Structure 1
Amino acid sequence: MTIPSSLRRTLAVVAAAAATAIALSACSGGASAAPTASAGASDGGHLNVQLSWVKNEEFSGEFFADSKGYYKDAGLTVTLTPGPSTGAAELLSGKTDIALSDAVSIGSVVASEGAPLKIIGTTYQKNPFTVLSLKSKGNIATPADLKGKKIGVQDSNTALFKALLAANGLTDKDVTIVPVQYDPAPLLSGDVDGFIAYLTNEAITVKAKGVETTNLPFADNGLPFVAETVTTTDDMIAQHRERLKSFLVAEIKGWTDAVKDPEAGAKLAVENYGKDLKLDPANSIAGPKEQAEKLVVSDETAKNGLFTISDALQKSTIKSLAGAGITLTAKDLFDLSLLEEVYKAHPELVKYAG
């Protein structure tokens, strides 16, 4: 397994963070106080889950699983800890049991450090990352349009953006990377020409301000890979396999509800789980609809169920990583045996659209 030198600095930061990770303050999945037991303790049904982002509508499936008692029915007590985070450091340091992440972030650490991490399923069949720009300024519609542009990139998305560049024959010398946070204000003010965003988040909120935007989706421009991946450690798979399978059952049920009723998922985020964020109701409804229709479901999920990853999608993900110089095999990155066992035991879960 190899990793290009262009990504080593970023990965070294991730590895260092894993070695010296600061203890995280866990937030409860719902309105009740956060559980205090840690995985592996006497509470055999407890799981810490690291979210990739804040508690907004992006995690409506998890909110359904918690609020409707699917976690409880599965014998689990689940702590949902907000990001932003790729989850790699938390997994490697033992601060979390499961992370919702993406194939590039996890694959990078597996390739560079031989990290014992595996993707056991995925929420998004198509990754939502995009280079967002204003039509009146950057108007970045093709990879070639990136040349000479100033691109706002968050620290946690640096490896992803460099992978996009590499997949299109570009390097960070072809652009100016401007460190930013997650607020797209630098894009609106003209400080950057492009901004790394989610199609289901910032791309919606900026457009809602009445400005015309242009998107350069990663998935359509040389970097198709799975995202919001359910990622865990080899040790968790070996030691707590049944607990992980129970979690997958609850997740499938929660995301079945999210696909069927995106507006209800948005309401859970606005009125309960993300209440302190003062989320915009209109934008919060648009996001779940976008993800339910374009990201979570596919021909693969219609045939084999939510969270599944077809052989073709595994191959395209591995090819995307290879295009960025990250050499892995599907076996290095994926372990879908737990999900196969779940659907064998619960074939009724396949019919999420029924």
Structure 2
Amino acid sequence: MKFRRTAVAGVAVLALALLSGCNDGQAGGQGGDGAALEKVNYLTSFNTFGREAYAYVALEKGYFKDAGFDVTITPGSGTVDVLKLVAGGQADYGIGDFTATVITLGKQKLPVTTVGMIHQRSLAAIVALEGGKISKPEDLPGKKIGDQPGSTNTLMFPLYAKAAGIPSDQTKFVPNPPPALPQLLAAGTVDGIGQFVVGVPLVEKAAKKKAIVLPYGKLLPDLYGNAIITRADLAKDHPDQVKRFTGALLKGLQDTIDDPEAAAQTLKKYVPNTDVAVATEELKLMKPYVKPDDFSGPLGDVDTARVQKVIDAVKGADKEVNPALTPADVVDGALAPKG
């Protein structure tokens, strides 16, 4: 099935073509058992910020190759675009925010499913600056928030607003490209920006001020963060491949949270404009979202009962979401990591 893609998604498609073979550290050759490597295209959730380093760690350390894959990593352009590109076959695996995935799949049928979680807690947040107009959720009505059109933070805002007891339609989201957001906030052009919690070091570096962070997860603790997404046909017809790929990616994630600075250095090898100090701080902030203090499951764990809670919350905040949506429509529980 063909999908009409946004201009941003079109750029991602072009990038897939241009970058194919660029990750030559593991390109071609054979796996550990001598078999030919399977070519796989992977999309990050968004760009190549420090939070995406784990895929490059898996590539650099040979985890993908050991699992039988020749992986090309391409910068993603947000959850909705990642979903559509994976659904349309332009990528085999991708990363997207789970709640945004539930919202999207609750409004349109796409042949994709979730097979594991990167973050056990949501990273979504509204970020402002000390001394500005926003210091608490009750300050948000009447304010301007800069964000990428269709971003995770924008999609999820009605859910957050309901939890905060504020009207969602009185906060104006101003469309802006993500690279410009920290500068717009620093200049006072907007009152806040949609941002992941781990993006705070980059914001503070640009603004030269301390950030005020309103994390969605504080009011909505059941929300997951980013999830591993693949096509429904791959999950159904090639479950072993999915498990091998997910396992290799999660090995990279474990190494990344164990040694954030080394992971940031690895990211810089593949993405030369990486600011290692900022990327390292991002990854340090990310660790408790990957493995919260009260979490005892395996890395990547998916709790079906919790997925149902997320679905129920989304339905309660967005009446356009299909009321018949179930966990099986968004997650393949049989392929998620098990303890």
TM-score > 0.5 by shorter chain: yes
> Which range moves more in the overlay, 60-69 or 112-121?
112-121
Please state how far the C-alpha of 1:167 moved relative to its aligned partner. Answer: 4.4
Match of 2:24 among 32, 44, 54: 32
> Which range moves more in the overlay, 20-29 or 236-245?
20-29
Please state how far the C-alpha of 1:170 moved relative to its aligned partner. Answer: 4.4
2-side partners of 1:122 and 1:336: how far apart?
11
Letter in 2 for 1:46: K
Structure 1 residues 16 and 169, CA, compared in 2 at 3 Å: closer, same or farther? Answer: farther
Q: Which structure 2 residue ranges, 5 or more long, are not aligned? A: 29-35
2-side partners of 1:153 and 1:57: how far apart?
19
Q: Check whether the contact 1:132–1:195 (CA below 8 A) recurs between aligned residues.
A: yes
2-side partners of 1:301 and 1:48: how far apart?
31
2:190 corresponds to 1:195: no
Question: What are the residue-to-residue correspondences of 1:121-160 with 2, within 5 Å?
Answer: 121-142=116-137, 144-157=138-151, 158-160=154-156
The alignment partner of 1:112 has SS state of coil
Please state how far the C-alpha of 1:244 moved relative to its aligned partner. Answer: 0.8
Please state how far the C-alpha of 1:174 moved relative to its aligned partner. Answer: 0.8
2:273 corresponds to 1:285: no
2-side partners of 1:140 and 1:180: how far apart?
22
Structure 1 residues 34 and 72, CA, compared in 2 at 3 Å: closer, same or farther? Answer: closer
Please state how far the C-alpha of 1:35 moved relative to its aligned partner. Answer: 6.1
Please state how far the C-alpha of 1:72 moved relative to its aligned partner. Answer: 0.3
Structure 1 residues 28 and 163, CA, compared in 2 at 3 Å: closer, same or farther? Answer: farther
Structure 1 residues 312 and 256, CA, compared in 2 at 3 Å: closer, same or farther? Answer: same
2:54 corresponds to 1:61: yes
1-side partners of 2:161 and 2:3: how far apart?
22
Letter in 1 for 2:124: F
Q: Corresponding residue for 1:204?
A: 201
1-side partners of 2:102 and 2:86: how far apart?
14
Q: Corresponding residue for 2:113?
A: 118
Letter in 2 for 1:235: D
Q: Check whether the contact 1:132–1:140 (CA below 8 A) recurs between aligned residues.
A: no
Structure 1 residues 207 and 323, CA, compared in 2 at 3 Å: closer, same or farther? Answer: farther
Letter in 1 for 2:100: S
Q: Corresponding residue for 1:17?
A: 5
2-side partners of 1:15 and 1:137: how far apart?
41
> Which range moves more in the overlay, 204-213 or 130-139?
204-213
The alignment partner of 2:47 has SS state of coil
Letter in 1 for 2:306: L
2-side partners of 1:323 and 1:194: how far apart?
26
Identical pairs, percent: 25
1-side partners of 2:221 and 2:21: how far apart?
32
Q: Check whether the contact 2:26–2:59 (CA below 8 A) recurs between aligned residues.
A: no
- TM-score scaled to structure 2, two decimals? 0.84
Q: Which structure 1 residue ranges, 5 or more long, are not aligned? A: 1-13, 37-42, 344-349
The alignment partner of 2:52 has SS state of helix
2:70 corresponds to 1:77: yes
Q: Corresponding residue for 2:31?
A: none
2:295 corresponds to 1:297: no
Match of 1:329 among 313, 326, 329: 326
Please state how far the C-alpha of 1:30 moved relative to its aligned partner. Answer: 6.4
Structure 1 residues 88 and 131, CA, compared in 2 at 3 Å: closer, same or farther? Answer: same
Q: Check whether the contact 1:45–1:243 (CA below 8 A) recurs between aligned residues.
A: no
Q: Corresponding residue for 1:338?
A: 335
2-side partners of 1:273 and 1:28: how far apart?
14
Please state how far the C-alpha of 1:171 moved relative to its aligned partner. Answer: 4.7
2:99 corresponds to 1:93: no
Q: Corresponding residue for 1:50?
A: 43
2-side partners of 1:140 and 1:129: how far apart?
16
Match of 2:236 among 227, 238, 263: 238
Q: Check whether the contact 2:119–2:290 (CA below 8 A) recurs between aligned residues.
A: yes
2-side partners of 1:15 and 1:191: how far apart?
35
Letter in 2 for 1:261: D
- TM-score scaled to structure 1, two decimals? 0.81
CA RMSD for the aligned pairs? 2.8
Structure 1 residues 17 and 300, CA, compared in 2 at 3 Å: closer, same or farther? Answer: farther
